[in-house]
Amino acid sequence: MVWSASLLFFDLAIGLKSNRPVAKISASSEFQKSEEIPKTEKRPMIPTLLHDQQMVRIPVSPCDNTMKACASVIDVFCGVGSLTHGFKIEGFPVVCGIDVDEACRYPFDANNDAPFICRDVAKLSSQEVAREFYPGIPRVLAGCAPCQPFSIYNQKNDDPKWQLVGEFSRLIREIRPDVVTMENVPRLMKFRSGSVFGDFIRDLEGCGYHVWWNVVFCPDYGVPLQRSRLVLLASRHGHIELEAPRHSPDCYITVRKAIGELPRLRAGDVDAEDSMHCASRLSARNLRRIRESRPGGTWRDWPQELVTECHRRKTGRGYASVYGRMAWDRPSPTITTQFYGFGNGRFGHPEQDRAISLREGAILQSFPKDYDFTRPGEGINFRRIGRLIGNAVPFALARAIARSIRAHLEKFHGQ
């Protein structure tokens, strides 16, 4: 179905006009009611929160010579802001990020010139979201719902967060943004016999969206991880798809290219220049184990006396992905939320006798090397930071998504 250009100016929006009252965002009230602004007042500027918690003002028309893409973006389930940062780097004005996890606030604020809104998306009304978009330019709604419900383990425990995909669908139906994007694990397609993902696509098509989705291999897009992700793009204005891969197997970014030049560390050490470049401690037994591990190898390389009791049993012989080193000259294994622990996966450094550091894990997720995760002087919490990094959308893939949307808008609307 082809939509007319008039849709670009939000004729299907929920009462959103360029001269209507618009909510302000402040540190004390993140979604204030629009009635608090006089009806005669146009939206001259929107306050945003940066990491120093000072009020910084952005003009109502954020599209200037510094912006490559004139479309406003709201990122729900934003986490620490890796997808948001991809849009920012590719020239999109980002309105805000929304996530229920307060721990994401500082990393999001510190790296993205947009406010973090701590709200449960399931309790968020479409009116609250719609009125935050900049008026007069296309609207992009991004929503990467938590992927944990779709893992094999959590499917057995029926994690209720799977319903957040439906909540994202609700926001789309009621807001009708110009472009939608979603990223998740491929297992979402099979969850509940495919009904959750199938219903999501049918909802989009029922609203007139042109929908494209595919499972992509992250190294094809510059992510140094052997990981596949489900990417979906949808537009009300015509066909849209993810850009073609920019990397081939002979030029994938390897572990060596990604982290090979970082300062050396011992287990338990913290780099003097970067507190995120810190390695967890190892017990004497695990230190012996990692010294017996070869790059790209597993616990099967060890002497028998170092093999754990559970791995000696027949039921444990299939767990080859734990207690191993990474290989220098290929992309790393998937970075999970517990990548900082040697026994949690193949997370041993290729040559140093330690697990990879928090900074190394972030870089392997393709975060910029200076992405800020902790406040100055704040102690390092491995579990919290590991969770935030492991749950993030790979940043290089986020940039590819943003570039694809920018190219689509340029093609159909000359943005």
Residue 58 above 70 pLDDT? no
DSSP assignments along 147-174, one per residue: SGGGSHHHHHHT-GGGGHHHHHHHHHHH
In the block, tokens 């943004």 appear at 177
Q: Which residues are 58's β-sheet partners?
A: 46
Give residue limits of the domains in the chain.
Answer: 5-249+394-413
Q: What is the mean pLDDT of residues 90-109?
A: 96
* Correct CATH for 5-249+394-413 of 3.40.50.300, 3.30.70.260, 3.10.20.30, 3.40.50.150: 3.40.50.150
| pLDDT tens for each residue of 216-246 | 999 999 999 999 999 999 999 999 999 999 9
pLDDT at 311: 58
| pLDDT tens for each residue of 32-54 | 333 332 232 333 333 332 333 33
Q: Residue 376 has which token pair?
A: 């100055």
DSSP letter assigned to residue 267: T
| pLDDT tens for each residue of 65-90 | 555 567 999 999 999 999 999 999 99
pLDDT range class, residue 6, cuts 50, 70, 90: very low
DSSP letter assigned to residue 351: S
Percent of the chain topping pLDDT 70: 74
pLDDT at 17: 31
What span, in angstroms and rounded, lies between the C-alpha atoms of 115 and 25? 8
Q: What is the mean pLDDT of residues 11-16?
A: 32
Half-sphere exposure of 392 (CA within 13 A, CB side): 36
Max CA distance (Å), the chain: 78
Q: Residue 270 has which token pair?
A: 């913290």
**Whether the Cβ atoms of residue 169 and residue 199 lie closer than 8 Å to each other:** yes
Please state which of the ranges 10-24, 301-315, 344-358 shows the lowest mean pLDDT.
10-24
Residue 55 above 80 pLDDT? no
Q: Which residues contact 94 (CB under 8 A, 6 or more apart)?
A: 72, 73, 74, 75, 84, 87, 88, 112, 113, 114
pLDDT at 88: 96
pLDDT at 10: 31
262-267 contact pairs (CB < 8 A, 24+): 262/357, 262/359, 262/360, 262/363, 264/352, 265/352, 265/354, 265/357, 266/352, 266/353, 266/354, 267/353, 267/354, 267/355
The residues annotated as belonging to the active site are 147
pTM of the model: 0.81
Give the type of residue at 125: S
> 292: helix, coil or strand?
coil
Q: Which residues are 180's β-sheet partners?
A: 141, 234
pLDDT range class, residue 64, cuts 50, 70, 90: low
pLDDT range class, residue 192, cuts 50, 70, 90: confident
pLDDT at 414: 65
pLDDT at 3: 38
pLDDT at 288: 87
pLDDT at 81: 97
What span, in angstroms and rounded, lies between the C-alpha atoms of 289 and 160? 39
Q: For the chain, give the mean pLDDT.
A: 80
Is the pLDDT higher at 76 or at 412?
76
pLDDT range class, residue 156, cuts 50, 70, 90: low
pLDDT range class, residue 28, cuts 50, 70, 90: very low
Q: What is the mean pLDDT of residues 5-26?
A: 32
**Whether the Cβ atoms of residue 145 and residue 75 lie closer than 8 Å to each other:** no
Please state which of the ranges 20-24, 211-215, 399-403 shows the lowest mean pLDDT.
20-24
Residue 334 above 80 pLDDT? yes
pLDDT at 21: 32
**Whether the Cβ atoms of residue 332 and residue 257 lie closer than 8 Å to each other:** no
pLDDT at 293: 82
